[in-house]
């Protein structure tokens, strides 16, 4: 006789947890008492598990259920586990947990612009840096680079992991139950030569219900969109963004700036320390470059989020310890001059801790720096992790501007 497992739906919380209410504003603290190492699979699918954090990897955040997570972190010739980990930061006792078991890393297809599968048909682990986003109840991975066991091969393959289908558990689900889906390709064929899938970023536009992806080197066929109005049947469209050289080298995330009637995507690039702006109301008008005023934080691998109450981009680099940098966003990001894009440093509160030694993760925070816009009391909170041996860290934001 088979066993029927009923999974209840995740329910959004309506108030802030006591630990957050009691936390001091504008200082770092530890959100969890455990670490990812405490919940690793046994046996491991491969060695190199530290690369869940250190392997040019990112994370995602579900703002409705206040859940921070990472999916398929690893890649290259390092860790191959495609499991998912998460923390319900809105709970009274946040803790790391493993939501799914990893696939066997044997077999599959890791060829350039192939599907990026293991032998069981599930997605391979990869360096997902800034290219994992959460939307419509799913984790979206719209393209991968440095797939496990592939050398440096990347692909425009679009995948999702259906978090909503698992509800509140029980966890972890088996590898066979892990809800991966392959939806197609950004481009069925890609250029040769120096066309590369490395780096770049992905972002979600909730107004258009579309996930966008751009690659780091894009002399042609540099991006694609995924219309997820129907998440079961997304519509993928190639966008022929074309730039010479490496304009998005070590991009620092891709936050969306949203006003009542307009949306812009803003990307910081270490290359020549420039901002790249895309008008999401008129994508055909293409990208424009901007420069800034003040001492910026352009190090490759930074994390970057947009904080609406401040109208600022918040930027974090492991090498800065407890310091968070801020970049003021002008009224019209696309037409502003450099005197309107102004860098500053967030003034920290009293007390708190300094997140762990950056030497534990030399490859950068990338998308592991995430914003919860509302913890249930109108206040936002930043989250990030930098090692599988360290907790999830938090930074409580004020109700207003930082």
The whole-angstrom distance between residue 305's C-alpha and the CA centroid of its chain comes to 10
- pLDDT band, very low/low/confident/very high, at 145 (cuts 50, 70, 90): confident
- Which conformational region is residue 338 in: left (phi greater than 0), alpha (psi within -120 to 50 degrees), or beta? alpha
pLDDT(127) > 80: yes
To the nearest 5 percent, what fractions of the chain are helix, strand and coil?
A: 10, 30, 60
**Which positions ≥6 away from 96 have C-beta within 8 Å?**
32, 34, 35, 36, 38, 39, 85, 86, 87, 391, 392
The whole-angstrom separation of Cα 184 and Cα 188 is 8
How far apart, in Å, do the first and last CA atoms of the chain sit? 58
Taken in order 31, 34, 37, 40, the sign of the CA dihedral is: negative
Could you tell me the pLDDT band of residue 241, with boundaries at 50, 70 and 90?
A: confident
The answer on pLDDT for 246 being more than 60 is: no
Q: Which of helix, strand or coil describes residue 293?
A: strand
Cα torsion 241, 247, 252, 256: sign: negative
Query: Do 290 and 296 contact (CB within 8 A), yes or no?
Result: no
Q: For residue 79, is pLDDT > 50?
A: yes
- The domains of the chain are located at 18-396
Say how many CA atoms lie within 13 Å of 211 toward its Cβ: 29
Q: What is the pLDDT of residues 80-121, one digit of tens each?
A: 999 999 999 999 999 999 999 999 999 999 998 999 999 999
Q: Percent of the chain at pLDDT above 70?
A: 88
> Residue 219: pLDDT above 70?
no
Distances, alpha carbon 4 to alpha carbons 1, 7, 162, in Å? 10, 10, 19
- Of the CATH numbers 1.10.287.90, 1.10.540.10, 2.120.10.30, 3.40.50.880, which one belongs to the domain with range 18-396? 2.120.10.30
Residue 318 in this model has a pLDDT that exceeds 50: yes
């Amino acid at each position: 006789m088979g066993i029927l497992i009923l999974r209840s739906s995740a329910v959004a919380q309506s108030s802030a947890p006591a630990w957050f209410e009691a936390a001091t504003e504008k200082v770092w603290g530890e959100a969890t008492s455990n670490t990812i190492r405490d919940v690793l699979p046994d046996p491991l699918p491969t060695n190199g598990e530290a690369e869940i954090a250190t392997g040019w990897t990112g994370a995602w955040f579900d703002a409705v259920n206040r859940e921070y997570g990472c999916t398929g972190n690893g890649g290259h010739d390092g860790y191959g586990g495609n499991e998912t980990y998460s923390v319900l930061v809105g709970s009274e006792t946040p803790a790391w947990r493993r939501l799914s078991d990893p696939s066997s890393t044997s077999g599959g297809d890791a060829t350039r612009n192939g599907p990026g599968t293991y032998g069981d048909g599930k997605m391979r682990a990869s360096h997902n840096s800034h290219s994992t986003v959460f939307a419509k109840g799913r984790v979206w991975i719209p393209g991968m680079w440095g797939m496990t066991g592939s050398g440096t091969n990347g692909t425009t393959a679009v995948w999702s992991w259906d978090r909503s289908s698992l509800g509140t558990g029980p966890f972890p689900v088996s590898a066979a139950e892990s809800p991966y889906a392959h939806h197609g390709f950004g481009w069925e064929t890609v250029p040769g030569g120096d066309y590369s899938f490395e780096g770049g970023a992905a972002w979600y536009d909730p107004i258009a219900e579309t996930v966008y992806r751009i690659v780091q080197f894009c002399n042609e066929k540099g991006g694609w969109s995924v219309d997820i109005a129907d998440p079961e049947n997304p519509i993928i469209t190639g966008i022929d963004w074309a730039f010479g050289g490496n304009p998005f080298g070590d991009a620092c995330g891709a936050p969306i700036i949203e006003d009542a009637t307009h949306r812009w995507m803003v990307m910081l690039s270490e290359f020549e320390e420039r901002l790249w702006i895309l008008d999401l109301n008129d994508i055909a008008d293409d990208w424009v470059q901007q420069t800034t005023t003040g001492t910026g934080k352009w190090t490759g691998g930074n994390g970057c989020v947009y904080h609406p109450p401040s109208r600022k981009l918040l930027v974090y680099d492991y090498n800065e310890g407890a310091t968070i940098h801020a970049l003021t966003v002008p009224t019209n990001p696309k037409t502003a001059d450099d005197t309107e894009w102004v860098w500053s440093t967030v003034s920290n509160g009293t007390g708190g801790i300094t997140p762990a030694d950056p030497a534990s993760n030399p490859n950068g925070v990338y998308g592991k720096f995430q914003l919860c816009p509302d913890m249930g009391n109108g206040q936002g909170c930043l989250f990030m992790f930098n090692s599988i041996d360290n907790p999830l860290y938090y930074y409580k934001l004020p109700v207003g501007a930082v």
